[in-house]
Amino acid sequence: MSIESAPGWGASQIERVVETVLPTRHGVFRMVGYRDSEGNEHVALIQGDIEGSVPLVRVHSECLTGDALGSYRCDCGEQLDASLQRISEEGTGVVIYVRGHEGRGIGLLEKLRAYALQDQGVDTVDANTTLGLPVDARDYQQSTGILLDLGVTRIRLLSSNPAKQEALESGGITVLARSGLNIAQRPENASYIATKRARMRHDGEPAQDVWRHLTEGTVPQGSVHGLAAELLTRYGPLVQDTRPDGRLVIGQLGQSLDGFIASRTGDARFVTGSEDREHLHRLRALVDAVVIGASTVTADDCLLTVRAVDGPNPVRVVLDPSGRIPQGSAVLTDGAAPTLWLVGLEAVVPISLAEHVTVRRLAAEDFEPRRLLDVLADRGFPRVLVEGGGHTVSRFLEASALDRLYLTCAPILVGDGVPGIRFTGSDALSDALSAPVRRFEFGRDICTEFHFSAAVPTPVA
Ligand SMILES: Nc1nc2c(ncn2[C@@H]2O[C@H](COP(=O)(O)OP(=O)(O)OP(=O)(O)O)[C@@H](O)[C@H]2O)c(=O)[nH]1
Ligand SMILES: [Zn+2]
């Protein structure tokens, strides 16, 4: 099959040659092989029912050094990996692996020449021009052709490069959203990435600036777009809405659409996807302390640090009246953040503990949510994230102790398992708990933010 005269295509053609399947560490993909009019061979890796949907699409430029050899000079390999994973988590999407794009279209050996110049201090843009070559010689007609062949005209693009979006749009593809893959920089590729941002219009810096301001407790002004704007919309209110006494209490939970945080065997891995995980890490970075129940520490052995984004680690507060979390738990053995281990008056705890662990004994009534929040505020932790599990978050919810709750639902039905939000509830639906809400799409998950402190109290009759 060949596509001719697609919009903006001129005389170029793309030919669908073969279809097979590719099992990978990110799952099984349908794989379609194409040949373009210049003889370049490309592949599309596909999951799910993409025709007529608005799938995630990664148009990935071939990079032998990064993709196959694991080079840290660029971020290509990690971007490829992350995009396959994201698509696999969402269950729908396409990665187009574009051959002939090596070295931004100048070829492998010329790229290595450019590397040799960069070894002498020239940046990636000047290296190409010093060699008498274009800074970026890629065209994206093959990708437009492949998408049209796959029946895809509207996409969400995984890329930090606005030029890719413009090229696909000029080829007749509607790009409804574009976001980068948020790969952590390495010392080896930091200046390459900085040059892409400074001289090749790649996004990154504004979003990182905005995020840094938010973690420092300020909301930057000025016009921003893309991820920077999204971060401001999502987290700006958290930074602004702190109460006069400096307190802010937020809850978060990821659960299945039918309300379970884990299966009946306790399997809780990846209920919600990587975007929700990133959101959770952002919430952690915005608070002084994360609160977690002993059952969740025992079941998940969570680290509770900020790893998916830049930002400070909060203090880890473990609610453990009977002192039952395992001594080998990450919160007790990993010193990446301080741990405040709150135990009952009678609980038995080991005499010698790692330096980052502080034990504080509380009377049974001090484990009541509002009393706990007073204890934490007194210790200098007014901004608190209640992170799990279902029982702990529900307790804080029922005690009206949460200013906001982020409840992310994954489109899966578990049937039976460890419950998410459960509380006494009301007899009449008209009395059900509600508040102003905002909704965020995290991949295939939907996060609902309940803003309880903005709710108008029901007048007492
Ligand atoms: N000429 C040259 N090409 C490079 C260099 N480093 C990486 N590349 C190539 O650049 C291409 C990837 O382009 P990038 O600018 O890293 O990213 P992008 O594809 O434009 O944007 P994203 O979609 O966000 O990944 C690959 O083909 C790499 O082989 C370099 O220093 N010089
Ligand atoms: Zn690369």
* pLDDT tens-place string over residues 13-51: 899 999 999 999 999 999 999 999 999 999 999 999 998
pLDDT at site 274: 78
> What value does the mean pLDDT take over residues 225-233?
83
Does the residue 220 lie in any domain?
Answer: no
- Same domain, yes or no: 321 and 448: yes
| Alpha carbons within 13 A on the beta-carbon side of 231 | 31
Q: Is 408 in the pocket of ligand 1 (CB under 6 A)?
A: no
Question: Residue 170 maps to which CATH number?
Answer: 3.40.50.10990
188 in any annotated domain: yes
Q: At 458, is the pLDDT very low, low, confident or very high (cuts 50, 70, 90)?
A: low
Residues 309, 181: one domain? no
Q: Is residue 231 domain-resident? A: no
The sheet carrying 93-98 orders its strands as 2-3, 14-24, 27-36, 41-47, 93-98, 56-61, 154-158, 174-179
Dihedral pair phi/psi, residue 62, rounded to 5°: -50, 135
Ligand 1 atom, smallest distance to 62 CA:
27
Pair (320, 193) in one structural domain: no
Q: Work out the average pLDDT over 188-212.
A: 80
Report pLDDT digits (tens) over 135-147. 999 999 999 999 9
Is residue 111 in a domain?
no
365 near 375, Cβ under 8 Å? no
CATH of the domain at 421: 3.40.430.10
Same domain, residue pair 366 and 305 = yes
Do 172 and 299 have their domain in common?
A: no
Across all residues in the chain, what is the average pLDDT? 91
Task: Say if CB 253 and CB 408 are below 8 A apart.
Answer: yes
Residue 102 Cβ inside 6 Å of ligand 1? The answer reads yes
Instruction: With cut-offs at 50, 70 and 90, classify the pLDDT of residue 1.
Output: very low
Domain count, the chain: 2
404 among known catalytic residues:
no
In the chain, what's the furthest Cα-to-Cα distance? 81
The 10s digit of each residue's pLDDT in 359-370 is 999 999 999 999
Q: For 154-163, what is each residue's pLDDT tens digit?
A: 999 999 888 8
Ligand 1, atom nearest to 135 Cα: 1
Residue 284 catalytic? no
Q: What is the DSSP letter of 439?
A: E
- Are 192 and 254 within one domain? no
DSSP symbols for 143-178: HHHHHHHTT--EEEEE-S-HHHHHHHHHTT-EEEEE
Give CA–CA dist 284/282, Å, rounded: 5
Q: What is the pLDDT of residue 223?
A: 66
Do residues 252 and 405 make contact, with C-beta atoms less than 8 angstroms apart? yes
Same domain, 356 and 269: yes
Ligand 1 atom 2: residue of nearest CA: 103
Residue with tokens 């400096």: 246
CA of 82 from ligand 2 middle (Å) equals: 14
In eight-state DSSP terms, residue 454 is G
394 in any annotated domain: yes
With a 6 Å cutoff on the Cβ, whether 96 touches ligand 1 is no
Instruction: Kindly report whether the global pTM for this prediction surpasses the value 0.90.
Output: no
Same domain, residue pair 275 and 394: yes
Q: What is the ipTM of this complex?
A: 0.92
What DSSP character marks residue 309?
Answer: S
Q: Is 128 in the pocket of ligand 1 (CB under 6 A)?
A: yes
Pocket test for ligand 1, best of 74, 94, 130, 175 (most atoms within 8 A of CB): 74
Question: Mean pLDDT throughout 280-296?
Answer: 96
Interacting residues of 17 by C-beta distance below 8 A, sequence separation 6+: 33, 34, 35, 41
Which of 151, 183, 203 represents a domain boundary (last residue)?
203
Which of 156, 175, 203 is the last residue in one of the domains? 203
Residues within the annotated binding site for Zn(2+)?
63, 74, 76
Q: Is 252 helix (H, G, I), strand (E, B) or coil?
A: strand
Give the domain range for residue 441.
Answer: 241-454
Q: Is residue 110 part of a domain?
A: no
- Residues making up the annotated binding site for GTP are 58-62, 79, 102-104, 124, 159, 164
Helices and strands: H and E segment counts in the chain? 13, 19
Q: Check whether residue 300 and residue 170 sit in a common domain.
A: no
334 and 271 co-located in one domain:
yes
Please report whether residue 221 resides in a domain: no
The string of pLDDT tens digits covering residues 440-451 is 998 889 999 999
From 174, 203, 232, the end of a domain falls on 203
Same-domain check for residues 172 and 32: yes
Rounded to an integer, the average pLDDT of 411-429 is 94
157 assigned to some structural domain: yes
Q: Are 320 and 295 in contact (CB under 8 A)?
A: no
Q: For the ranges 208-222, 359-373, 414-428, which has the lowest average pLDDT?
A: 208-222
CB 315 within 8 A of CB 375: no
Give the per-residue pLDDT at 459.
54
409 in the same domain as 322: yes
| Mean pLDDT for the stretch of residues 200-207 | 73
For ligand 1, is residue 196 a contact (CB within 6 Å)? yes
